Structure 1
């Protein structure tokens, strides 16, 4: 059983402009798939979602950003508490989204508003037990499944931003096969280990994408992304 209990209560919760500040991540992994006609094994990307305790839906791990931690530490903590995973966190957020709780307004501020920072987390360790295991089940999904099961627009927008980041990483890998691309160099590992044992931070040369516009996400995905991510 995990020796680290999940945090509870709102004593240390951060607020800004009447929004409750939230931090979370899209955990992901690469999985080898079927062999193509050339005899090469293909890789597909999968993302991890967890069940909601009081609703019949799946969400990405996220929760309140508290005043004794950085936003990246909060994202790593939520991944551990809700999904039981550790990994390498890309320290530039996928975006910042403002949304309103549709299930219970007191989950966010008095007005029901949250401001959420979402990150990409490459999973390196999947724990057999974790703090919220009794209330949350985890499920690995391909990208098409994740889009279909994302209940809110902001979740779909975060997935689209995630795909752009992953596609850019693939382009960099193709451009330089003999050296690690700068976007996947692990930076500040000793500092990150001291502050948060749940993840390492990954530096990136990519610009912050911000909030993509709401649209038909699957139809707007490029052919290259569709090939890489299996939809």
Structure 2
């Protein structure tokens, strides 16, 4: 069983402009996918969603940002507590969204307003047990499924921002591959930045550190519909 209990209560909760501050993430992974009977494979991206207690929907891990942690630490903690995953967190948020809770059990303040910071988390470890396991089931989904199951507009907007970040990464990967072909294949270890630990649950990487030691990510929208790909201009 997980030895780290989930935080409860709102004694340390942060508020701003009469809104409850929330931090969360879109956990993701790259998975090999067989494309045909000849054994050809490609990488597809999947995102992780969790069930909501007492409601029939799926959401991304998120929760209150408390006054003894940074916003990135809060995102990592929520990923561990709600989804049982650890990983590498991108320090630049996908965006900041203001939204209103849809149920009284999930009210942010009396008026139900939240200001949420969402990040992208590349999952490196998936735990067998986690603090909220009894109340939340997790499910890996392709991009098309995630869009279809996202109940709220802000979740779909966060997914759009996530796709733009992944697409930009793909362009940078392709550019780096071209540079590697032109340059001598030598690496000075001291010049390769390391991920910075922000908590026992995850690491963070800046926008200039995202590609070291990571394989090129191929065909971002290979499992999304053609309509989604056209919609985002990829």
TM-score greater than 0.5 by the shorter chain: yes
Kindly indicate whether the alpha-carbon contact (under 8 Å) linking 1:96 and 1:210 is maintained by their aligned counterparts in 2. Answer: no
Change (3 A) 1:153 1:220: farther
User: Over aligned residues, Cα RMSD in angstroms?
Assistant: 6.8
Residue 35 of structure 1 deviates from its aligned partner by 3.8
Kindly indicate whether the alpha-carbon contact (under 8 Å) linking 1:156 and 1:217 is maintained by their aligned counterparts in 2. Answer: no
**Would you identify which runs of 4 or more consecutive aligned residues in structure 1 move more than 4 Å?**
36-40, 177-195, 205-225, 227-231
The structure with the larger Rg is 2
1:54-79 superposed Cα distances (whole Å, 9 cap, x missing partner): 10000000000000000000000000
Residue 226 of structure 1 deviates from its aligned partner by 3.0
Alignment correspondent of 1:23: 23
Change (3 A) 1:228 1:218: same
Residue 202 of structure 1 deviates from its aligned partner by 1.2
Change (3 A) 1:76 1:88: same
1:123-162 superposed Cα distances (whole Å, 9 cap, x missing partner): 0000000000000000000000000000000000000000
How far apart, in 2, do the equivalents of 1:138 and 1:16 lie? 30
Kindly indicate whether the alpha-carbon contact (under 8 Å) linking 1:81 and 1:132 is maintained by their aligned counterparts in 2. Answer: yes
How far apart, in 2, do the equivalents of 1:168 and 1:58 lie? 27
Change (3 A) 1:174 1:216: closer
Kindly indicate whether the alpha-carbon contact (under 8 Å) linking 2:42 and 2:218 is maintained by their aligned counterparts in 1. Answer: no
Kindly indicate whether the alpha-carbon contact (under 8 Å) linking 1:108 and 1:114 is maintained by their aligned counterparts in 2. Answer: yes
How far apart, in 1, do the equivalents of 2:185 and 2:62 lie? 27
Residue 104 of structure 1 deviates from its aligned partner by 1.6
How far apart, in 2, do the equivalents of 1:27 and 1:184 lie? 30
Kindly indicate whether the alpha-carbon contact (under 8 Å) linking 1:189 and 1:201 is maintained by their aligned counterparts in 2. Answer: no
Q: Which runs of 5+ in 2 are unaligned?
A: none
Kindly indicate whether the alpha-carbon contact (under 8 Å) linking 1:143 and 1:230 is maintained by their aligned counterparts in 2. Answer: no
Change (3 A) 1:207 1:32: closer
Change (3 A) 1:194 1:31: closer
Kindly indicate whether the alpha-carbon contact (under 8 Å) linking 1:183 and 1:206 is maintained by their aligned counterparts in 2. Answer: no
Kindly indicate whether the alpha-carbon contact (under 8 Å) linking 1:186 and 1:200 is maintained by their aligned counterparts in 2. Answer: no
How far apart, in 2, do the equivalents of 1:154 and 1:213 lie? 29
How far apart, in 1, do the equivalents of 2:185 and 2:22 lie? 28
Q: Which runs of 5+ in 1 are unaligned?
A: none
Change (3 A) 1:93 1:208: farther
Change (3 A) 1:128 1:211: closer
Kindly indicate whether the alpha-carbon contact (under 8 Å) linking 2:44 and 2:219 is maintained by their aligned counterparts in 1. Answer: no
How far apart, in 1, do the equivalents of 2:92 and 2:108 lie? 24
Return 2-11 or 200-209, whichever deviates more: 200-209
Residue 34 of structure 1 deviates from its aligned partner by 1.2
Change (3 A) 1:182 1:31: farther
How many residues are matched?
231
Q: Secondary structure at the match of 2:165?
A: helix
Return 159-168 or 186-195, whichever deviates more: 186-195
Kindly indicate whether the alpha-carbon contact (under 8 Å) linking 2:23 and 2:74 is maintained by their aligned counterparts in 1. Answer: yes
Residue 230 of structure 1 deviates from its aligned partner by 14
Change (3 A) 1:224 1:138: same
